[in-house]
Structure 1
Amino acid sequence: MSSVIIIGGGGHAAELDEYIRYANRVGVSKIQLTGVIDDNPKAYDQYHFDCPFLGNISEHEVQNDVQYIVGIANLKYRAPITQRFIDAGATFLTFVHPSAYVAESAIIGTGSVIAPNVNLGPMTTIGAFNMINARCSIGHDTKIGNFNFLSPNVCFSGGTQVGDGNLFGINSATIPGIKVGNRNKIMAGMILEKNVGDDETVFYRYKEKIIAVLKSTKG
């Protein structure tokens, strides 16, 4: 049985706690949740975790006999805190929810989380420390870098290429073959029809309204 500590104690961490408990309950995994660490104890108090609060992230000494899982959604802190733990010798759990469909040819990197009802198509590559949230669909031959956060219902069409540190809002999507660079924010509901560079925020309002007018059948 693996022992795991969740880094972070807010809502995202609470979801991971639920995912792990469910996987244990259905017999897919045997993971012992050792505890939660967070610099804000009040965050932990808002949720019903299945493990105790172990103290601050900043004061935590990395343990060699446990694995860690990243429960921090904010990309400003997610990568720096994870890197500090890696430098201190931490090892990280890669977690796939039992309800996810993962093609045999798909590759999932260290520390990534594949949430409920995700679809990973053939020849997809998911890098390290990504959060692929519930009901995301990742099309064939898509390549995703490291430290990306995909909100629920994100859909990548086949051949999409994504760099590092990107945030994709709920219900955002790509058409086939789109390339997205690094550290971008793709806001909720956006459909990417053009490539995106680095450090961009993609948001626009629809200004066109299409009205279909039925032709009269009378002679």
Structure 2
Amino acid sequence: MKNVIIIGAGGHGAELDEYIQFSQKCSGIKTLKVVGFLDDNPANYASYHFSAPLMGGVREHKVVPDGFYIIGIANLAYRRFFVELFLSQGARFLTFVHSTAYVSESATIGQGSIIGPYVNVGPNAQVGNFTLINSRCSLGHDTVIGDFDFISPNVCFSGFSSVGNDNLFGINSSTIPHIRVGNRNKIAAGMVLDHHVPDDSVVFYRFKEKVIAMPAESHNKQIS
């Protein structure tokens, strides 16, 4: 049995806690035990029902040598910072794959990464270190995802997509095949990438709709 400490006690931390509990309940095999949470803001912990107590703040924490850690901070600015801080102090991070996910035998998942519920990871796909692949995402064959990426729910990568490091993909965004995305980009929700994206970009399109409203009385006259 591995004792697990989740770094972050907000919404993302709560999701990870439930992922672990649900997966072990479904499989009937308990190999992980969440023993505590870390958060510099106790109000975050008070907002959810966790399976273990708040152990204290993130910055003041002394790494437990016989424990394992999972990063539960969604904000990209802090994910890498705290992971690297804890690694420098000898922390060991778990890779977690939800029991409902499908991961091809030829796919690879890096250290500290999370594969959420109902995710599909196709043949020859690669996921780097400390990357979150959120619920219902799909990674087509030969897709490569780098380190410290945050992939929101329902994101779909077509075959041969390539994504660098420290990227945020908003919910329901997607790529067409062979798209390359650099580092430190923010892809807004619902975007379909049909062009390569360099580094340090924000991909956002504002769609404008022209709505023509017809008064009900006028409409009735036209169809009578």
For normalisation by structure 2, the TM-score amounts to 0.91
2:220 paired residue number: none
Q: What is the one-letter code of the residue matched to 2:65?
A: N
Distance 1:160 1:74 in 2: 24
1:25 is displaced (CA, Å) by 1.2
Structure that is richer in helix per residue = 2
**RMSD over equivalenced CA pairs, Å:** 1.1
What does residue range 157-196 of structure 1 map to in structure 2 within 5 Å?
157-196=158-197
Q: What is the one-letter code of the residue matched to 2:128?
A: G
Deviation >6 Å, runs of 4+: none
SS of the residue 2:5 aligns to? strand
Distance 1:175 1:22 in 2: 33
Distance 1:61 1:208 in 2: 54
What does residue range 1-219 of structure 1 map to in structure 2 within 5 Å?
1-26=1-26, 27-206=28-207
1:24 is displaced (CA, Å) by 1.8
Q: 1:192 to 1:208 in 2, by over 3 A?
A: farther
Distance 1:29 1:181 in 2: 38
Q: What is the one-letter code of the residue matched to 2:5?
A: I
Q: What is the one-letter code of the residue matched to 1:7?
A: I
Distance 1:193 1:208 in 2: 22
Q: What is the one-letter code of the residue matched to 2:136?
A: R
Distance 2:38 2:207 in 1: 43
Q: What is the one-letter code of the residue matched to 1:164?
A: N
Q: Which is higher, the Rg of structure 1 or of structure 2?
A: 2
Structure 2 residue runs without a partner (length 5+)? 211-224
For normalisation by structure 1, the TM-score amounts to 0.93
1:208 is displaced (CA, Å) by 8.7
Per-residue CA deviation, residues 99-142 of structure 1 (Å, 9 max, x unaligned), is 00000000000000000000000000000000000000000000
1:207 is displaced (CA, Å) by 5.6
How many residues are treated as equivalent by the alignment? Answer: 209
Distance 1:28 1:175 in 2: 38
Structure 1 residue runs without a partner (length 5+)? 210-219
